[in-house]
Amino acid sequence: MTVIRIQGVGTALPEHVCDQAYVRRVVENLFGERVENLERLLKVFDHLHIEKRYFARDPEWYRKDRGFGEANDLFIETALKLSAKAAQEAIDIAGAAPEDFAGIVVASTTGVMTPSLEAHLVQDLGLPLQSVRLPLFGLGCAGGVAGLARAAELSSGRDGAPVLFVAVEICSATFQRNDLSKSNLIGTSIFGDGAAAVVVGRAESGPEILGSYHRLFPETYDIMGWDVIDSGMKVRFSRDIPNFVKTHLPMVLEEACSAWGITQDDIVSYITHPGGAKVLDSFAEVIRRDRRTLAASHEILRRYGNMSSASILFVLEHMLANGELEHGYGLMSALGPGFSSDQLLLHNQ
């Protein structure tokens, strides 16, 4: 069987960076007296686990009413720009020739495009026009793990030819200024914009991708997702995700390790989606490790917030750049709408 490895990782961010205090003031002025107990709810901005985030526009832009079309135009413009930048960086690091690529996988859930994003990227990056194209929509935060798994499978089926994977989310394009729900306020306090790309394929070095595992939880549609309304995508959060993690993830990890023929004790590195500080703490409890095990995830959350599918690839890049991916098995893990859990097993030489 062809050994598929991670050859290069690239990331990109929009130009507008804001600290939490500034975003909090904008939200406070915007919602004013329309939200009951606003002062209490605004405490979600006061936690130290997020210091700043990056947005496609200055926060003042989001004060005005924007229809779905205008918000989606913002997604298209920014997603194209950031995806191309992150992808070119990953390709350069991998040292891969554009004409050798066999396919491209793109994960995104914060906007819609037809023709889809990868059709543009194939041409903008000079990839072969016969490249296999796989757009992934609706996977949310889990898209970074699931998409990387699909890219590795595609490369394996093409004798290890390089495949490009891109995850891009313009979360700010989904902001609803007239949604007075707690879910919208939480989303406003945590989500940011960003893109990341990974080149996978046959190589002599780099973390090897060994296998993936997906688990869908029945009748959990209410936990996470979008409600599409006239003004765009309205965020849906329900139930207690940290407690859901503590209740259900032990079973998922046991099933995944059994399928791969290893034990959890064999895993030495964890590349975990930084969905939020409480979610990370719950994950650390599940794997029976202390907070330091997920230090890279906490660092990415602190510096960029939650960029949905792209975030875990920022964590991967950070760990590779700083030598934090130990020799042995590594587990990439993320949760997403469905409600679902995706795992990817790596082996670092």
What residues are annotated to the active site?
Answer: 141
Alpha carbons within 13 angstroms on the beta-carbon side of residue 234 total: 14
Nearest in space to 201 (alpha carbons), one of 166, 133, 154, 167: 154
Nearest in space to 341 (alpha carbons), one of 291, 258, 266, 275: 275
Amino acid found at 235 = V
Nearest in space to 306 (alpha carbons), one of 345, 340, 346, 272: 272
Categorise residue 10: left if φ over 0, alpha if ψ from -120 to 50, beta otherwise. beta
Residues 74 and 70: their CA atoms lie apart, in Å, by 6
Nearest in space to 264 (alpha carbons), one of 343, 209, 336: 343
For the record, the structure tokens of 157 come out as 């089926």
User: CB of 149 within 8 A of CB of 142?
Assistant: no
